[in-house]
Chain A
Amino acid sequence: MGQRGKQGSSGSADLGFRIGTGVFALFLIGIVCAIGFLLTRDAWLSIQKFGLGFWGSQVWNPVSGEFGALPFIWGTLYSSVLALLIATPISIGIAVFIAEMSPAVLRQPLVFLTELLAAIPSIVYGLWGIFVLVPAVRSIETSLPDVARRLPLFSGPPLGLGMLAAALVLAIMVIPFTSSIAREVLKSVPAAQREGAYALGATRLEAIRAALFYARTGIIGGVMLGFGRALGETMAVTMVIGNNPRISASLFAPQHTMAAVIANEFTEAADQLYLSALVEIGLVLFTITLIVNSLSRLLIWSMTRSSRVSVAGSVETAEPLAAETAAG
């Protein structure tokens, strides 16, 4: 503050700018609060009727007016986590290749193509899923040996449609987000980091590992952005997941997600309680997204804190690397 005061005449403009940008930031917070408020208000009928049991109930019966969110919560989290498991290594691989190893000629086309994936509408992914991916998944499923089919992970009839197809579509949709961020973060790793690694006798692989380690918080941020995208994805998922609100560990079982049930049933929900239950599903999704985002913030925060401590102690990235190089 003291420094700013010394600038004199620019002080009032500075203050105006601060207030202006502050209003924009508050506006954003206001929107989030308004969403939360409206969802709660419109879900009130359902909240009153089912209470906390809504989160744990597995029944979803519009005819008898009984509603529970658990199968949808399960389906959303299962498909999103699975999509992340598939997409994260691929995204990081793409990012490393583009940022570190790609010949200059290939770089721009690759960047363009991965970003093009993000621009494809989800309905197109859904249609592609139905007509190309699902038959392919079905043939994989039918070709599995019987021994594997007895495992809970692969149980059920081989429909093609189901959790695996949904996770694969989601993974493809998430890749451009995670890989673009990972690439940008890798590009911003200071050259001194790599040069330091090479100076210590690191191979190219080891230098990249050092860069990845340096960029890890940013990469996790990218992964979390992808996770948020996967949680909320609606159209592409509903077209391939089978839309059956039953909890199952099987990759082959048709399941359901929160975003999908809202999109599917909202238009024809004429009954007040039914509508209210669908809004509450939206509230649950909102809450879960909030929790996931907070957890990822917390993770990044704790990582940056611990790395700052270790940076203060020594050159953190080079040290273990030097030891490994020496061992190798």
Chain B
Amino acid sequence: MKEKEPSFLVNAKEKLNRYERIIEISTWLVVIAIIFGIQLIPSRNVDDSKAYLLIGVIIAFALLYYLVIYKYFSRSKRLYIKDIADIILIGSLILILKDWGQYFYALFFLPIAAAALSLEFINALLIAVVACLFVVFEIFLNSQGLYPQSGALYQGAWQIILILLITIFCRALAMQLRQEKNAKEEAIAYQKVLEEEAKRQKEFLSLTSHQLFTPLSMIRGFSSLLHYRTLGKLTPKQQEAVGEIYISTKRMTDLVSELLSISRIQSGKIEIKKEEVKIEELIDEVVKQFQKSIPKKNVELVFQKPEKLRPVQLDKEKIRQVLYVLLDNAIKYTSKGSITITCRQNFDIVNVSIKDEGAGIEKEDFDKLFQPFFRGKNILELDNKGTGLGLYIARLIVEKHGGKIWVESLGTNKGTTFTFSLPMVQ
């Protein structure tokens, strides 16, 4: 099925057709107006019967053009016929006007320019040659003897040169315009392809996520019912087996979820929806949620809430995700001690730091820490269940905000400080 053209293209074509019609009629109207105008000059030396015959020919050709040629010929053939006919009409007019004719040579430029702008170069050149033949014919017709006068020859030569120059100039102009038009059309088409591809990828990711999560959600849900004995008691061996299934499914779900998040962030499918947020309140919310979940651990979570901070333009849910990752890591790798969260504004930057007294990180691992699947050696000894993607996702989100994330530590068992900075004005 033919694809429907966009409305702007349809409008442009209609506009162009309208202009073409006006240009088509204009040559004939100008010729007729000149004939009638000449009638007003008392000292005219014009054969009136030939002039009226020319008007009749113009009207007859116009009828032929619109009733037959317009309907049955392609656009280029139609314009070719019309341009040749126009040259003949203008040449005839110049001959009929005799002495006055020399003032109307410029009329040749109308069909020549139209041909050069819309037809192939060779066809435009043929039309120019027809015009040149009329010039030559006129020179010989007006000569007194066998040879024309040198003045008339010079004048004719200049007229022919001018006709050819105008043909070449209009042709070059047409090529330039066509190139620009093609470049614009290509850019629009390329943009459309990109948009379609982006849409297709977004749909693909959504459906992939749906198809992967549907069986996982059932395995996770049912195994949680068994694990928490909602469906009744199990034997110790069954309980142990179900526990493994449950924990593995949770890890699998987290992994798939994080991989899909990365894929969405990297392919630009996740939009950062910025809004004005009081960052200290957002941190407070997250800290309170974590404080509820760590009562059994000998870890204290302290948020040194600052006063009078200006709101920051950020995506609240995405930065909440970053805070979750950093706090979750800090709690996971701190068996005893305090975790301190601070938030400071320096000019146009806000810095959020999470400082723990836990496992620490070796300096050589600092840069690798924000790469996918990297996990420090001492961290692996403490916990091998993480996906190794959390800090990578945090980095992608912070960078999407135009910010930076980094880590500082004095080494193993000497605590760690993660800091991320976000620009206030973005």
Is this pair of chains taken from one and the same complex?
A: no
Which residues of A come within 8 Å of B, CB atoms? none
Interface residues of B (CB under 8 A from A): none
